[in-house]
Amino acid sequence: MSNENNHSEPLIRVSHLKQYFPINVGFFRTKPLKAVDDISFDIMEGETLGLVGESGCGKTTAGRSILHLYKPTAGEVIYRGKPVKTKADIEEFRRKATMVFQDPYSSLDPRMTVEDIVGEPLDVQKLYKTKEERRDRILQLMEYVGLNSEHAARYAHEFSGGQRQRVGIARSLAVKPDFIVCDEPVSALDVSIQAQVINMFDELQEKLNLTYLFIAHDLLVVRHISDRIAVMYLGHLVELAGADEIYDRPLHPYTRALISAVPVPDPVIARANKRIEMTGEIPSPLNAPPGCPFHTRCPYAVDGCKESMPELREIEKGRFVACHRIEEIG
């Protein structure tokens, strides 16, 4: 977790971002799958913003669209006060913003050595003048992630999951980014090594002044590393608040249900937090319900919830919630 003093200006501002995928639904007919549907938030310099929600709610798509790995359907991303719009803007932004992927098994070429994998972005961006400089930089990157020079000549397939994830992170750091989208970087790892890798993200943030968008569905993982947490449901943001606040006192009915589902070791706390059960399955984003996207599963839903979409509103300082009935349900 980062130093509070760094949080002065947004590094990244996401403004009304939409990502719709055209899906074939018959002869020459397509329908938009609204994977990300109008999300807005800021990420402050040096901050970690956690992004959570069930499988398919649009977390990865949001991360990819922010980085312009997908061209957004609408909305914009503002980096250090400047909209990322033209081809040149996107190229410049890509040098400063990168992604660490979920699966360390599929995101690295097993036939490449660690030196080749980490060195490739240096080659592509021509970030060195001599062979020695290249080698020194690779060793420095490996050291950042807890690998040593003996690992350089080995192949990715020789490594454990945790080590592969470290190689992937070293590769991401090669271009000296200041913003990293971490897409479930520990979900595929053994529980026993998840904490080590999370700690490494923390240390790297301090050392290199990084800003993270940290995607996960495990709320416990996100709570530890995040300063603030954004909760996504069916392509929308439903709540955004400080990590501890959201965990200790979730407000949106969906966040309450997610927190209820996390096992609590202490029975006193477990009793104090009334359990909220969701009913039914998450709807398909191809057939999203009208009005509040959560109304089909919300225990507090009333007829009005089906009619209009609740805006994400700041209901207490720094706490944003999208629910028509938030004042009533307390």
Where does this chain bind ligand SF4 (CB under 6 A)?
Answer: 253, 292, 294-295, 298, 300-301, 305, 310, 323-325
Select from ligand SF4, Mg ion, ligand ATP, none the partner in contact with residue 253, using the beta carbon and a kind-dependent cut-off of 5 to 8 Å: ligand SF4
- E-strand ranges in the chain read 10-26, 29-44, 48-52, 74-79, 82-83, 97-100, 179-183, 211-215, 228-233, 236-242, 313-316, 319-321
Encoded tokens for 7:
């949080």
**Listed residue (55, 102, 63) closest to 234, CA to CA:** 55
285 binds ligand ATP (CB under 6 A): yes
Residues 195-224 that bind ligand ATP (CB under 6 A): 217
56 binds ligand ATP (CB under 6 A): yes
Query: Please, what is the minimum distance in Å from the beta carbon of residue 305 to ligand SF4?
Result: 3
Q: Are 12 and 48 in contact (CB under 8 A)?
A: no
Q: Are 243 and 229 in contact (CB under 8 A)?
A: yes
Select from ligand SF4, Mg ion, ligand ATP, none the partner in contact with residue 223, using the beta carbon and a kind-dependent cut-off of 5 to 8 Å: none
Q: Which is nearer to Mg ion, 59 or 319 (CB)?
A: 59
Residue 171: CA count within 13 A, CB half-sphere: 26
Q: Residue 127 — φ and ψ, nearest 5°?
A: -95, 20
Amino acid at 128: Y
Residues 59-78 that bind Mg ion (CB under 5 A): 59-60
x-or-dash pattern for ligand ATP, window 23-52, by CB under 6 A? ----------x-x-----------------
Select from ligand ATP, Mg ion, ligand SF4, none the partner in contact with residue 35, using the beta carbon and a kind-dependent cut-off of 5 to 8 Å: ligand ATP
Contact positions toward Mg ion, by CB under 5 A?
Answer: 59-60
Contact positions toward ligand ATP, by CB under 6 A?
Answer: 21, 33, 35, 53, 55-61, 217, 285
